[in-house]
A and B are shown apart, each in its own frame.
Chain A
């Protein structure tokens, strides 16, 4: 038994409003540079839809992730080590820029430099790749809100075989948003595909990173990741990927996407798992058993035996406490409402999703029934095959049963809580029907609807050992000792009162440098010339 800790995330899809705030803040933080103009570490796709890059889920074509060979052994779907080396000179499975989209900016300069003329000058789009005028024909969310769906959404790989059953007509279809980041998999096929061994999983918190000094630009990881969440920086010639905002997480604050999420639908916390059992779990023969294999891999952080083993494995005490309070673990294994994205890729992804009940509720309401009543909802979940099948293809390798169970729990929570909110006697048969107690259902409701910042994000700071501790100390208020005047909880004087928010030293220096330097907007810089306008001598 080798216990490891993993930083994981859960997203509650019912609450996503598709605002793309997470994508934009992530881009501003990480990929607003030339070379990665087309890269969105966080993207939000409308489903059904093709996703970004287009049809990335079609593994017959892209061959990402793992599969079982004839003898039931786990192997990379894209081919073994020798095959990777033999095809290294030209990667046969690399998505082209067209599959993402050609990034562009606008020729803003004509707006102010155009000569006087009868018509208002316009800023024409220009390719950020070639610098030439370009037509905009695709983007990272071209089919947002089912835009163009009658033509485009039928190419969604998950609709294969049921294309004709899903009608993309106004008011006759269902849709929801799927925000995606790197899954920080327990069995990352990106790392396994990297010939240089530059992609590694951090043994402390499981965050998967690309070592920029070791990456040699073989671009095999891009093909290896079934979620297409490693990207190639075409300027530096190196792979880049979501970092789980490790500089933030290390000091105990959530990732940028989670911090800025408008729907407050993201949860971050630790899970503990047994690293020795990952391979066996990923090799589970029947795809439909992968979900349970993945759930079983996560250990109960309150079990004394687990805690003893974890301490023996060097996981610090405060991390174990944080794991016990982890909202992620609770949603996955206590309430069993969170599901992994595409477990059939066998990478053991660690960003989990609570599937949306809204496609079902909408239909019930549109047909004039009571969209809050559990019997109607339960009946609708059973009757509405298409949304459930679709969700099953996303989250359970096509097995509708676990999706049904989750949706029934969410439906039960809805109708049980309505009674409570209306001051009626709660109907204990509702939780019974989904195998929970009334109290559990209420706790689930609390976690999904009311949980505050420090309940949604339970992130123990990293132990960078004494040197770092000293650095953090030096930035703390000297009055901030136990019971001192600087001390306070989530204070009586509003949000900002009380104890200081930990700041990352590196962010602090960066911010200060930036304040001292001239403001530079790199977002629309085309990578040519000097982004900093030359200073006029006074």
Chain B
């Protein structure tokens, strides 16, 4: 039988977070396109950013890929193609730790820069601070759990607990007991992540969804008719455009 706490943590929190994440992004996109930006601070400072930002971003993109692979691909599939759990784990842990360390080092540089470079510091909003606490917290918890787990020599196989639980959320058949069985480190990492996701649409992290892949295929010069946009003129009542 699942305790109320387990249901709260591993069913209610995830669904609320996902709902806020989705609805929040739709809302933000519709009402705040103007605020949807990376809010680059490169104009203020370049030397540290040049180091920290690529390190962090390439790291985190690898980490995201790792999570997609680890959470969404069932263990049975990899075994079906002949990859043993030990082999899988060796590769995943080493790549994951490498990417995680890059991310963390990059984040450290970025946070240090935010704190010490005057103009960057004064352009840092409260929102940015909350975002960094949640983001770095989640990364530290995740990386810490992985490293500590591997140091014990007998790492927990999350593909038997966390991953099926995560997938169960999307089958609308949540299995909180799976997650409840995972070690504390994983539990904390996951909770931190759900809070981060709930905060995501309201932070600068929305820029992730603007990854401009369309640039690879669109024509270089964009032409638009002035009718497509209404300049600074609000249409008069009764003359608003339809559609």
Contact = CB atoms under 8 A, between A and B. Distances in A.
B25 interface: no
Interface string A119-134: 0000000000111100
A450 B136 CA distance: 67
- Most chain A CB within 10 A, of B57, B222, B232, is at B222
Given A89-B56, A467-B236, 16 more contacts: A89-B53, A90-B49, A130-B118, A191-B220, A196-B215, A202-B223, A202-B225, A212-B34, A213-B33, A219-B40, A219-B42, A237-B37, A237-B40, A247-B233, A250-B231, A468-B233
A217 interface: yes
A160 B36 CA distance: 43
Interface residues of A, number: 57
A232 B41 CA distance: 10
Interface in A62-99: 81-82, 84-85, 89-92, 94, 96-97
Contacts of B40: 217-219, 232, 237
Contacts of A247: 231-233
Interface of B: 33-34, 36-44, 46, 49-50, 53-54, 56-58, 118-119, 122-123, 207, 210, 212-216, 218, 220-227, 229, 231-233, 235-236, 239
Nearest to B225: A203
A237 B39 CA distance: 4
B214 A197 contact: yes
16 contacts: A81-B215, A85-B213, A89-B53, A129-B118, A130-B118, A130-B119, A195-B215, A196-B212, A199-B222, A202-B225, A213-B34, A215-B37, A218-B212, A235-B123, A250-B226, A465-B227
Interface string A200-211: 111111000001
Contacts of A232: 40, 43
Interface string A479-510: 00000000000000000000000000110000
Interface string A429-473: 000000000000000000000000000000000101101101100
Ranked 4 nearest A-B pairs via Cβ: A237-B39, A195-B212, A217-B37, A192-B220
A195 B118 CA distance: 30
Interface of A: 81-82, 84-85, 89-92, 94, 96-97, 129-132, 187-188, 191-192, 194-197, 199-205, 211-219, 232, 234-238, 246-247, 250, 462, 464-465, 467-468, 470-471, 505-506
Contacts of A234: 41, 43-44, 123
Contacts of A84: 215
A216 B207 contact: yes
A138 to B, nearest CB: 15
A196 B210 contact: yes
Contacts, number: 138
Nearest to B50: A90
Given A81-B216, A467-B239, A236 B222 contact: no
A278 B229 CA distance: 25
Contact of B53 (A90, A187, A216, A246): A90
B38 to A, nearest CB: 4
A129 B119 contact: yes
Contacts of A199: 222
B47 to A, nearest CB: 9
A214 B33 contact: yes
A492 B216 CA distance: 61
Given A130-B119, A218-B212, A197 B218 contact: yes
B221 A187 contact: yes
A246 B231 contact: yes
Contacts of A211: 224, 229
Nearest to A189: B220
Contacts of A202: 223-226
B59 to A, nearest CB: 11
A203 B229 CA distance: 12
Nearest to B224: A200
Contacts of B37: 215-217, 236-238
A340 B118 CA distance: 41
- Most chain B CB within 10 A, of A89, A213, A238, A467, is at A89
A131 to B, nearest CB: 7
B57 A89 contact: yes
Contacts of A465: 227
A85 B212 contact: yes
A94 B43 contact: yes
B237 to A, nearest CB: 11
- Most chain B CB within 10 A, of A130, A246, A250, A465, is at A130
Contact of B212 (A92, A130, A216): A216
A219 B42 CA distance: 9
A216 B215 CA distance: 13
